[in-house]
Structure 1
Amino acid sequence: MDTDELFVKYTVDEIRTIEKSTRSKIEKKKEDLRQMVGERYRDLIEAADTITEMKNCSAQISNAVQDLQKHCVNLQKTMMTRGVAGVSKESHQDLQSKKKFYAISSEIKLLVDIPDRIWSALEGGNHLEATQLYLLACHVTSSLQLDSSTPQSAQILKWFPVLSRQWATLSHFKHNILQSSRKILKDSSMSDQKTAESLCSILLLEDSSPRQVFAEFLLARKSAIQTCLTPDLHTTSVKTQVCLVTRVAERTLRQIHSIFYNDEASGDCSSLLFDILSAVCNSHSPGNNGPYHIKLEVGNFGKYLPAHIKDFRPSLAATATPISTSYLQQSVNQWVEVCIGDVQHGVSKFLRHITTIKALTSIRDAVYELLEETEDEKASWKSVCEKVLKRKLSLWSEFLRSLFITRIQGIIQDALEETVTETQRLIAEATDRLDYSAEERSICSYVWRESGLDIPSEAAWDRE
């Protein structure tokens, strides 16, 4: 916005507030930039080291190819001298040794390709795919014993020097995936499927339980509501913020129902979270062509991959058990009570900026329209509340109505006080224009004035 326009539209105090808000945003952007540079700097250093190692490795390969060409020329000369019959057949032991070498080579190619695939998955928002690739990389690393100091590890590193820093490149992906998944949990606009996949990613990476990720989901949505309650009112209207808070609360309860709730009464203990978790961890899926099956994509080397790599599936240390209905209902009720307090405290501050009943009515109508739109979704609001809360819940009545009533009363009271003050001022101006004495201008004197003919006060109280 132009500087001159700011001074025309706002007061000095408002301009100072805008300046403070702008400076705060600038500092936040600077901090975000520092964090981003800090996170990428390590990748840049690792990439530079890897390029140097690749240069050395390429030089070694080039020399090896030249030596191979010389050996081929010598072999050709020998064959021409002795004939083909002079070449002995490879022994069974040599074949086994080659197969083992090819298997290790195919695993290493897979390990080298995985970082790019993880970045692509994260950029595409496929957090569960990125998680599976990371866990596969951990499995391959453990298989090759690159994270230890065994003779096999030393021999492999001698054959493939580029792998010396490969695990360092892979290890930081866990933090990146978890950070990105937790960011998804705070976004109520995400679909149930994406949210459930992000929860599965956290569950698999941290080897946690469904109860733990459920608690983390509730905390994330509480944080999302608190973020909505601390906006910049210069860029966002009060109506938008109140509707956004309502939408987050409504979407949270619906996603709890679709992702975590299982109907114990009917014996159906499946939920979206467990369906996805079973599809990812189940090693008996037909043909390994399920929606969450990871294609290894190692080209011609794929036939040399060991079976334990081809058939790899993530697993949990302990068997995941469904969240009981009673525990879910208790936790959700506690979450709702906390959110009611936060919402009422925050929205009451928003409503102080509303000075007309017409504006309040407009906000109320917008909330009503939002709640009516949600009724068109697959599961009815009444059914959702009965299952996850074991009671009825009206977001308008419990979250907002008392705040609107209080603000309406405040607006009416302010209007009455202003009316009284203005009336008194107008009366005072009118009486000042009249040519009367001060006693005649007094409204009290006009309504009642003592007269000499009145009964004396002593006589009025005399009981005789």
Structure 2
Amino acid sequence: MSANLLELNVDTLFEQHSVSEIDAVQKKIQMVVENKREELRTMVGERYRDLLKAADTIAAMQSSAGTLIEQVHCIQSNCRSLNEQQLLGFKTTPVACEADILLQQRTASKQLNNYYSTMVQIKLLTSLPELIWTHIDQEQFYAATELFIFSRHISTGLQLDAKNALMQRLPVAHKQWEILRPFHLTIKHAVLNVLEREQLSAEVAVDCMQSLLLLEKCDLHHVLQTFLQLRATAFVRCLQSQSSDAEAKKSRRVKERILASLHILNGTIELMDKCLLSNGLLFERIEQCSAATTPPSISRMDISERQLAHLLPDIIANYRPQFDKPQLAAQQISDALLAWLRKIDTLAAKELEQIFSLVSSMQTIQDIKSAAAATAQSSYAELEQQLQLKSTQLNFYKHKYVPLINARVREIIRSSWAAAMQHTYELVVQLVQSSHSQEPAPLQIWREQNEDLPLSLAAALSEQPKRLANRTKGYSTATIELCAEFDKQLAQIVQELNVLLQEQSTRAEHKLALINFLRETAQQQMMDYVSKLKTLQLQERQALLQALRCTLALIELCPSLKLCFCQPSSWRQWAGNLTAAGAEHWQRLCALIEEEMLRLWLLIVDDVLSTHNCDDKLPKGITHNMVLQDFALWHTQTLEQQDEEQQQSVQSSIRIPSQPRLSLQTYLHQLIQALNVAVPQTLPSKVLHAFNQKLLTQLLAHYELLAAADCTKSSQNIALQLYFDLKFLERVFSVTREERQLYEQFHALQRRLRDFIDPFDFELFAEHINQHVARSAARLHGELGVLTAMPANLPGGVANATLAHEADPNVLCLSSSGSTSLWFPLLPIVTAQSTPLHSERKSLTTASEKAMTPTRKAPTTRKTESSSSSSNSSSKSKSSAASFFGMSQEWFR
């Protein structure tokens, strides 16, 4: 390839080849030259000592030969003088020849001095490459540049004397310059590489800029632009971890790269402040190098070369580099700096944001902020004054790093929350899907286990979720583990944010913004979770139960979720007024989730009620056979009254329903069994209320049809039984005036049935019916407790009921639905004395015996066995209807 390049014809090269081909040829030539240069450098390095030794020997021999020649010349001149004195009379040459001889001597001396000077210059050219490399390795770039310029000055003088016979005999001078010429690019590349370093001191930066001024012969404005461009490149390479430094070639942590990039930006402004202002370090160095007292360039050579300086011409021996007086206006610095700041903004928007996206923990964020705060921000008052800049423009950390740090913190919170919520949602979906293949197991919830009771007082008082309480709410082991995992992930988020909030360098308003962002993120993620859950459009009963159990468990069994809204006590100093707002948002979230879960509950309720519809379970018509089969045994009530005219006691007996229809009781019992199979857990009060509302609406519709039947209109007993059923339902399900619509429907239907009953008979039946309804409701209350668990005297009505269960449910709570309403009445205490309860039971027994034997003679003291109080038991029953119309008691017999 070298032979082909040597055979190139330069004259025809530009005619036969294109520009790209010529460029490729030039690169090949440059490559060959570099290879040859390396070979020559290697050869010179190996033989340099021998060459120096030979050169010193030649110099010593030259000195000895010069002395010998001088002595020979002295002898010749003495002999010639003596010969002329002896042969003065025989002299035939003219006197004018002495001038020619003197001229010849001077010419010979000049040629000799020229020879010595040429040899010394060649020796300097031979020594300069090694010396330049030494300065480059020691990063003394200005000294290397000065020696390169000195070598070029020597080579230029020798090339101008190329027609001299001596130079034609010494081609080494031309070849040596070919070795020295590439140092122009070598020094420039080394200077540019140093200016791209992350760590750059003011002395090294000034040395590099001074080297560029001398090497490129450019103005200071161009050097400033080059310097700023290289610092921008250093900023990008630092963020991309592509630095040429050996340490940076290794895998660097993100935190180190971010801090190093900040150090580069601050260091660039600091270098400009120290070096490039009117009284900067660069101008001082240039003035020192331009002073008359500055030693010449040959003073940088070794001592052996400096001793031969007297043999060199003055133009070489006294050479020193010259600098034009640098001019750098404040406007030029300002324009260049503003352009650099705009470029940094563009690079930071792309590269810095990208590297911040790699930060994955709050601890790293805190370390970055602590390290940045520990590095005191220098004051550039003089720089800002001269360039008329705002101090905020040079605060890179505040305006470029702090917004990205805050944005990354928010992204970490959002992504961590989203990941935790997505993982939880996937687990919920898995549990929902697995619930399709599982049969409902009500006994699994209520079966006693060894782990239910705490093993110690400390375990009982701990904040860990109670196993028995969780099972009463339907929370399975998988659901509890799901909540525990979700709470662990949220606790980690809260803990990481707490690390950042405890950091002293973070401003209070930033901490408040982070707390608010955590709450907003938690609220948004929970809403997204509910939205995803709604998109599943669950219809199957077990899937609905599993979905709502898991969702309600997230609120109840995940304390860290509440901490995202209601801040911990350690955050209150920054949260301030946000604490009350957080509690309000938490209540809103709970209410919203309960509302969404209530929709799922209503789907389950509708499913149960549609499967066990009262129209299908209860008879649609009442016939005489149905009356015998469906109506329970009526209670015969004996009434004893005093005849006002004859002063005789008159007895009369009436038959009153004692309990609701058997079909109604059977239907309610089957409905309870179906509800226990469908929902084995304890129903929340709000769901139970909705269930009862729908159930009573269906029952009212059914009784509307029965009331409209002809058999009901024609039979007073049927109407009376239906009236009793409605009063029973109204009392058992605690229909109060607060539930206006349902209450009006019940009483409207009861009034319709009363129209089918003789008013005089109803006047007699009314009080006793109410007593029997109360007695029947008390007797069946335990059986219907699943449906009537909500107390009748609940403060504020059902409007304040929620889906949340009691704070600490236990086994004793299962025996009652409140402080006054008992599911299972307690057994009486048997003592010698008769207690009121024993008396009541005795009266009930007596009443039943009288009902079985209606012809028994009534005692003298009139008693009403069905009375609920002792005062009513001891008083006589008197017909108000007979008194009102003035009829005798015989009419009722």
Change (3 A) 1:226 1:424: closer
* CA RMSD, Structure 1 to Structure 2 (Å): 4.4
Measured after TM superposition, the shift of residue 167 of structure 1 is 1.2
Q: Choose the corresponding residue for 1:275, options 274, 277, 284.
A: 284
CA displacement 1:260-296 (0-9 Å, x = unmatched): 122xxxxxxx43222222333x2x522x449996457
Q: CA separation in 2, counterparts of 1:399 and 1:210?
A: 29
Change (3 A) 1:356 1:122: closer
1:445 corresponds to 2:600: yes
Letter in 1 for 2:600: S
Q: CA separation in 2, counterparts of 1:258 and 1:209?
A: 19
Q: CA separation in 2, counterparts of 1:313 and 1:307?
A: 11
1:326 corresponds to 2:323: no
Alignment partner, residue 308 of structure 1: 315
Q: CA separation in 2, counterparts of 1:440 and 1:167?
A: 92
Write the mapping of 1:59-458 to structure 2, written as runs, cut at 5 A: 91-144=105-158, 146=159, 150-152=162-164, 154-158=165-169, 160-231=170-241, 235-262=251-278, 270-280=279-289, 282=290, 284-286=291-293, 288-289=294-295, 294-295=300-301, 297=303, 298-315=305-322, 319-369=324-374, 371-372=375-376, 375=378, 380-387=379-386, 390-392=389-391, 393-421=394-422, 435=442, 437-438=541-542, 442=548, 443=597, 444-446=599-601, 451-452=693-694, 453=697
Letter in 2 for 1:445: L
Q: CA separation in 2, counterparts of 1:38 and 1:309?
A: 28
Q: CA separation in 2, counterparts of 1:251 and 1:118?
A: 29
Change (3 A) 1:426 1:92: closer
Q: CA separation in 2, counterparts of 1:427 and 1:157?
A: 95
Letter in 2 for 1:218: L
SS at match of 1:151: coil
CA contact under 8 A between 1:209 and 1:320: conserved in structure 2? Answer: no
CA contact under 8 A between 2:120 and 2:312: conserved in structure 1? Answer: yes
SS at match of 1:353: coil
Size of the alignment, in residue pairs? 390
Measured after TM superposition, the shift of residue 427 of structure 1 is 6.9
Give the percent of matched residue pairs that are identical in Structure 1 and Structure 2.
16
Unmatched tracts of structure 1, length 5 or more = 1-34, 263-269, 460-464
CA contact under 8 A between 1:127 and 1:177: conserved in structure 2? Answer: yes
Alignment partner, residue 762 of structure 2: none
CA contact under 8 A between 1:43 and 1:169: conserved in structure 2? Answer: no
Measured after TM superposition, the shift of residue 161 of structure 1 is 4.5
Q: CA separation in 1, counterparts of 2:200 and 2:339?
A: 24
Q: CA separation in 1, counterparts of 2:297 and 2:182?
A: 26
Letter in 1 for 2:194: I
CA contact under 8 A between 2:238 and 2:260: conserved in structure 1? Answer: yes
Measured after TM superposition, the shift of residue 199 of structure 1 is 1.2
CA contact under 8 A between 2:220 and 2:328: conserved in structure 1? Answer: yes
CA contact under 8 A between 2:122 and 2:172: conserved in structure 1? Answer: no
Measured after TM superposition, the shift of residue 187 of structure 1 is 1.6
CA displacement 1:93-131 (0-9 Å, x = unmatched): 443443333333333332322222111111211111111
Q: CA separation in 2, counterparts of 1:136 and 1:291?
A: 7
Change (3 A) 1:325 1:167: same
Alignment partner, residue 43 of structure 1: 38
Q: CA separation in 2, counterparts of 1:119 and 1:227?
A: 27
- Kindly indicate whether structure 1 or structure 2 has the higher relative contact order, using CA contacts under 8 Å at least 6 residues apart: 1
Q: CA separation in 2, counterparts of 1:46 and 1:235?
A: 35
Measured after TM superposition, the shift of residue 315 of structure 1 is 2.9
CA contact under 8 A between 2:277 and 2:383: conserved in structure 1? Answer: no
Letter in 2 for 1:249: L
CA contact under 8 A between 1:210 and 1:320: conserved in structure 2? Answer: no
Unmatched tracts of structure 2, length 5 or more = 1-29, 85-97, 243-248, 443-473, 475-540, 549-596, 602-685, 702-740, 742-893
CA contact under 8 A between 1:121 and 1:129: conserved in structure 2? Answer: yes
Change (3 A) 1:424 1:169: closer
* Greater Rg over alpha carbons, structure: 2
Measured after TM superposition, the shift of residue 407 of structure 1 is 1.2
Change (3 A) 1:328 1:434: farther
Change (3 A) 1:215 1:279: same
CA contact under 8 A between 2:295 and 2:320: conserved in structure 1? Answer: no
CA contact under 8 A between 2:235 and 2:265: conserved in structure 1? Answer: yes
CA contact under 8 A between 1:340 and 1:398: conserved in structure 2? Answer: no
Change (3 A) 1:425 1:324: same
Alignment partner, residue 10 of structure 1: none
Q: CA separation in 1, counterparts of 2:416 and 2:142?
A: 57
SS at match of 1:101: helix
Q: CA separation in 1, counterparts of 2:33 and 2:441?
A: 79
Letter in 2 for 1:412: I
Letter in 2 for 1:114: L
Change (3 A) 1:300 1:345: closer
CA displacement 1:220-258 (0-9 Å, x = unmatched): 111111101112898211110001000111111111122
Change (3 A) 1:400 1:344: farther
